[in-house]
Each structure stands twice: as structure tokens, then as C-alpha cells.
Amino acid sequence: MEIILAKSAGFCFGVKNAVKTAYEKAESEKKLYTYGPIIHNKNVINDLENKGVHVIESLDEAPKDGKIIIRSHGVPPKVYNELEEKQLEYFDCTCPFVKKIHRIVEDRHNKGMEIIITGSPDHPEVVGINGWCQNSALIISSIEEAKAFVPEEGKRYALVSQTTFQTDIYDEIAEILSQKTDIELNRTICLATAERQNEAVEIAKQVECMIILGDKKSSNTRKLYEISKKYCENTFLCETFVDLGLKSVLKYGKIGITAGASTPPAIIKEAVNTMSENENKSFEEMLDESIVTLRTGDIVKGTVIGVSETGDVSVNLSFKSDGIISRSDFSDDPNIDPADVVKAGDVIDVYVVRVNDGEGFVQLSKKKIDAVKGYDDIEAAYNEGSVIKGKVIEQVKGGLIAMISGIRVFVPSSQISNRYVEDLKSFIGQELDFNILEYDNVKRRKIVAGRKALAQKEIDEKRKAVFETINVGDRIDGTVSRIVDFGAFVDLGGVDGLIHISEMSWGRVKKVSDVLKEGDKVKVTVLDVNAEKGKISLSLKDLDADPWKTAAEKYAVGNVVSGKVVRMVPFGAFVELEEGIDGLVHISQIAYERVEKPEDVLSIGQEITAKVTELDLDNKKISLSIKETLPKPEKAEAPAEETPAEE
């Protein structure tokens, strides 16, 4: 016979704390009472009764010198008020998860919101929660009730849940209500409850028989039964294994066992071991055996129960209370989401910060554990001169902070790169290699890292790789890294190449910024490679669109062409014949009459007609003449000689 016992079976930390408190107080207090049954389990109630811990349903039943234990289910405010009025001493064992719900309900109610609770109306936890909104909450216990809900116009709603409510039903109810009205959703189901229910499903799917241990009045126990029954027809609910009987299960080869949050460890042990090894031990002794002892400073293993929406991690420590790793104690890196690192069922090492944080939890730290290993890794990298990875997380005065093996390490601005960096924020979020430059192995306070040498090495390797593979004529992709007056530098993957302004277009470019800006992705042609000088010349022009390819025919000597004056020089005027081709009209070819300056006759932008007088394709030069398109002036007749007057 194979038995699968759920890891999450039995007491949740809230119940553990309440039961443990009751047993501890029973040793020193004579008139001790629990306000309602401290747990939905007759075995525990009877055992406590024998030790002098009595159950009362009203504070009127308690004597004036009596002391009251408030169970993990919690109570409404009126009970606290009554305790104060009667001057009764009490021990508040309300589950921290339930207290959180009380705070939410009270806050939203005070803000004028209507409260909706998913849960059983008569369950003591729900009764207690409802008291924090003056018993005005709407209680929804089923999907059908959610479908029948009609919101009031103008009302704002807030939804909370009984901690042991069935997770899949809550999710469906929340979806239905969200479609009906604007509602704030607070998924206050205990992480341990969700884990217990999910584990029950997984076990029920693979066994022939499923046994649910717990009191039949326990809400979470009944839910485990209902969930398991869906996947395993042979599911049994019993308070103890004896109630079920061995004969009922011996015929099954594979049996699953889980237990509700109110089922003590002794009952579970009885189911697995049939009490054979523990028959002479009391319930209290077996309970004590199942709970470990913790001290501040201990490093222990725990099993992750789950991660809350705020990033707090709940951990099962096999202690009377479960542990909590707050988000701030999970990692020194504020950008890390614990939900991305751990999940339910993971076994992790934790450091015990405080055995009781004031709300019944054990305060834990993961980053303290990580720090021990992190310092060892950093010290090893420092001593060996090896490279260690880190992630830049923030900018500070004088440099950056990088998380290296979970430790905050300072990186001076002069050490982040091999060249000056104006905007250090551009490094935030990057994972980079570092060298440890300074390390104080005594105080561990001054740790300095840098990557200046590494950056230069990376660039040298990239440059070498580029120059080994790049060839003249290659068409390659790059990113504009810098704009200057005479052109633009393009990052080709570790090496910058230059596009001169004259190579940006076949047409005329006045300003580089008219064509490109930093960050632009471009496809360029390699014009020249000089590995010795580390220079690469590039062109942005489309070589297939080179207008000089058809120039021989279009601009043959003797052809008359049209163009626009684009530039004046002392010896003539340049005329743009088409985008990428200019011709020169020499000053002597502007007109038949003598021209002192080109601008005396021509103006920028003027359209002219000229004859091609010379075409030099090799040097891409065209000579033009305007005057040869003009009629030649006739020669002026010489003036007649004057006849001398007769005397």
C-alpha cells in the first residue's frame, strides 16, 4: 500500500498559535476560557477541557477574575469593548490574516464603501469580520448568489473573503461582481488555505482513495472534502482514522491523506502510523513533538507557502507560527519581485530575525542568507582577480550602485566605461561584468567595483572581430551614435564608422541633422577600411541610384541642359542639373560681355540653360557654357573719319 500525505496537511499557523497558547496558559492560569471553541476539533477541545480550559459562548459566563483566549477566527469590535468594560484580561490569538481583513473592512466602511464578504454567514470568522463594518456586509456564499446580486446605483463596493473560502469559487464570484459594478477586490484567502486546496486536488487526481481528516463542522475541512470528491470518487471525511476503520481502506493500493487547518498533528500521525508507535503518548506530547523550537539568529530550512500581492513570502517552518519574509527582507535589489524567484513548494534557507514580530508571525530574512554567500563570492572574485556579474540598479552621487551576488556595490562613474559617459542612467537595469577593485574583508562596508578595463577589452575584441570580417562594398546595418558638423558616426557593433556629409545623399545636404539623428538605424555601404588607423568610411547613398551611371548620354558634349544655380565662387557658378550632379559655368562662359563677378549676372536659385562643353566621368566633372546658348552679338561698325573742313 502506498500512502501520499499532503505536505500542507494540518494546523495552519493561526490555529497552531491559538492551540499552543491555550496549552501554555493552561499550565499557569486557573480560570482560563476560550471565547467559543478554540478549534473545530473535539479531540483538542476535550483535551483542553481536562486541563481546565473551558469554552464559553458569552462573556457573561466568565467570572470576574477569569482570563479569556480569543480564538484565531477573530471577533467583532463589540467583544473587545465588552472585555474592557468587564475588565477581563485576554489573550488575543486572532490569526494575522484575519486581523488584516478586519483592518481592510473597517477602513473601507469608514470611507463609505459597501462591504461584500464571500464565506459562510454563520462561520465565526465571517461573523467577526462583519462586525468591523457594523454588521452591514452582504454575505455571498455561492456563485448563484453572486449572479443574483443587484448593485445599488452610486454605491462603491469592496470585496473580501473568509480566509478558508474555496479559491476557484471566490475567483468566479469576483469575476461576476466585477462585471456588474465597480468593485475593489481583496483576495484575502489565506495562502496556506490555497496551497492546501491545490495540493488536495493534485493528490486526489492520482490516488484510488482520499482520506480527509478533520472535524465535520470545520469549514475548511468540508471544502477539502468537496474538492477532493470531484477528482476521487472514493473520498472519505472522518475526524480520526479510527472512525474510518482499516478495513474500509485496505482494499486500495494508493491512498492520499490530507487534513483541515483544525486537525492537530496527533490525528495525522495516527492516520499514517495507526498510533502503534505513539499509543502511550498524550496528545499534548505529540503536539509538542511536531513543533520545532526557533531562536533569533537561527538559519533554518522552510517551505514556501506562497507569495502575497504585496510581495511578502509566507514560509512553513514546522513551528507554531509560520514565517514571513517581507519584500524588503527578500532582497537588497528593489526591482526584484519575489514571485519571480520563489513559488509554493520551494524549500529555501531563511534567517530568523524575530520569533514573534508582534502579529504572531516569525520574521524572516532571505537577503541575510544571500549576503553571506554574496560576500564569499565577492571576496573570491577580489582575491582571484576574476570577473563577476552584477546588475546596475540605481544612480547615486559619484556613480552607480550594482547588485553583485545580492550585495550593493559602489561603481564610480569613472569606472563604468573606458570613456566619459554623460548619462549614467542609461546603465540602470543592465547586467554587466565587473572587477572587484576594493574589498574590506573585515568590515565589509567598502566594496568598489569597476568595468573600465573590461569595457576596453570588450571594445578591442569587438573591433578586432569587425575589422576581420568587414570588406569594401559590404552593405551593413548600424546605429547612428554621434552627429558632428562634417558627418555622422555609426556604431557597427563595437566600431564606429564615419558617413561624411557628402556621402549622405546624391543631392545637396546643408546640415547633417536634416538627414540623421542619434539612435537612427541605417543601412550603409563600406567605402574604405583602414585597420591600422582604425577608420571605416561609409556611405548612406544608394549605389544603384547613382545618377552618374546615365550621365554619359544625358550630358554628352554639345547637349543643351537646364539647371538651377546653387553656389557662387569667384571663378564661376555651380549649377545643379539633377540631384547628385552639378556642373560649373566658368565666369568666362556666363556672357559674351566681360563679367566682373558671377553674382552681377546670376542669382542663387535662378533657372538657367547651358551647353555641355566638357564631360569628365572619371572625376565626375561637367563644364557648362551659358553664352554658347545665346546669340552672338554683331560686330559694331567702325566710326567714319571726319572730313577736314575746307578753309
pLDDT digits over 461-481, tens only? 888 888 888 888 888 899 998
SS (H, E, C) 327-391: HHHHCCCCCCCHHHHCCCCCEEEEEEEECCCCCCCEEEECHHHHHHHHHHHHHHHHHHCCCEEEE
Kindly state the cell numbers that stand for 301: 530550512
Asked whether 258 and 6 are in contact (CB, 8 A), the reply is yes
Strands (E), 178-294: 183-185, 209-213, 235-238, 254-259
pLDDT for 13: 66
DSSP state of 119: S
pLDDT for 170: 92
pLDDT for 276: 36
pLDDT for 275: 34
Strands (E), 260-312: 299-307
pLDDT for 320: 60
Kindly state the cell numbers that stand for 506: 546624391
CB atoms within 10 A of CB 73: 29
pTM attached to this predicted model: 0.44
Binning pLDDT at 50, 70 and 90, where does residue 460 land? confident
User: Which phi and psi (to 5°) does residue 473 adopt?
Assistant: 100, -15
Give the mean model confidence (pLDDT) for residues 154-168. 90
Residues 239-280 have pLDDT tens digits of: 776 666 555 666 778 888 888 776 766 666 656 665 334 334
Residue 176: is its pLDDT beyond 90? yes
Residues 6+ positions from 113 with CB-CB distance below 8 Å: 156, 157, 158, 184
Helix (H) or strand (E) holding 48: helix 42-50
Give the chain's mean pLDDT. 84
pLDDT for 10: 65
Kindly state the cell numbers that stand for 473: 562594398
Domains of the chain, earliest start first:
13-143 (3.40.50.11270), 299-365 (2.40.50.140), 371-456 (2.40.50.140), 470-544 (2.40.50.140), 547-629 (2.40.50.140)
Report how far residue 305's alpha carbon sits from residue 314's, in angstroms, rounded to the nearest whole number: 5
pLDDT for 33: 93
User: Which phi and psi (to 5°) does residue 391 adopt?
Assistant: -125, 125
Report how far residue 458's alpha carbon sits from residue 432's, in angstroms, rounded to the nearest whole number: 11
DSSP annotation string for 480-524: EEEEETTEEEEESSSSEEEEEGGGS-SS--S-GGGT--TT-EEEE
Report how far residue 523's alpha carbon sits from residue 543's, in angstroms, rounded to the nearest whole number: 12
Report how far residue 344's alpha carbon sits from residue 534's, in angstroms, rounded to the nearest whole number: 55
Asked which of 43-52, 107-116, 621-630 is least confident by mean pLDDT, the reply is: 43-52
pLDDT for 321: 64
Residues 368-425 have pLDDT tens digits of: 887 778 888 888 888 888 899 999 999 999 899 998 888 889 999 888 887 777 788 8
pLDDT for 26: 85
pLDDT for 457: 83
In one-letter notation, the amino acid at residue 265 is P
Give the strand order in the sheet containing 53-56. 53-56, 32-35, 67-70, 89-92
Strand pairing of 535-539 and 521-530? Answer: antiparallel
Residues 530-544 have pLDDT tens digits of: 888 888 999 888 776
Is 153 designated active site? Answer: no
Residue 495: is its pLDDT beyond 50? yes
pLDDT for 201: 92
C-alpha distance from residue 228 to each of 201, 202, 262, 538, 603 (Å)? 6, 9, 18, 71, 94
Report how far residue 21's alpha carbon sits from residue 10's, in angstroms, rounded to the nearest whole number: 17
Residues 307-349 have pLDDT tens digits of: 877 788 888 886 666 788 888 888 877 778 898 898 888 888 8
Asked whether 529 and 536 are in contact (CB, 8 A), the reply is yes
Binning pLDDT at 50, 70 and 90, where does residue 183 land? very high
Residues 500-528 have pLDDT tens digits of: 998 888 777 888 988 899 889 998 888 99
pLDDT for 361: 72
Range with the largest mean pLDDT of 539-543, 576-580, 606-610: 606-610
CB atoms within 10 A of CB 434: 23
Report how far residue 233's alpha carbon sits from residue 639's, in angstroms, rounded to the nearest whole number: 134
Asked which of 273-282, 295-304, 579-588 is least confident by mean pLDDT, the reply is: 273-282
Q: Which of 57, 89, 125, 628 is catalytic?
A: 125
Taking the alpha carbons of 499, 505, 510, 513 in that order, is the dihedral positive or negative?
negative
Asked whether 204 and 255 are in contact (CB, 8 A), the reply is no
Residue 282: is its pLDDT beyond 70? no
Asked which of 389-398, 441-450, 533-542, 626-635 is least confident by mean pLDDT, the reply is: 441-450
Binning pLDDT at 50, 70 and 90, where does residue 102 land? very high
Asked whether 296 and 352 are in contact (CB, 8 A), the reply is yes
Taking the alpha carbons of 142, 147, 153, 154 in that order, is the dihedral positive or negative?
positive
Report how far residue 21's alpha carbon sits from residue 92's, in angstroms, rounded to the nearest whole number: 10
Percent of the chain whose pLDDT exceeds 90: 30
Residue 172: is its pLDDT beyond 60? yes
Strand-pairing partners, residue 89, are 67
Give the mean model confidence (pLDDT) for residues 130-136. 95
Residues 6+ positions from 456 with CB-CB distance below 8 Å: 418
Residue 299: is its pLDDT beyond 70? yes
Q: Which of 535, 529, 503 is nearest to 516 (CA)?
A: 503
User: Which phi and psi (to 5°) does residue 576 adopt?
Assistant: -80, 115
Residue 159: is its pLDDT beyond 60? yes
Residue carrying C-alpha cell 554683331: 634
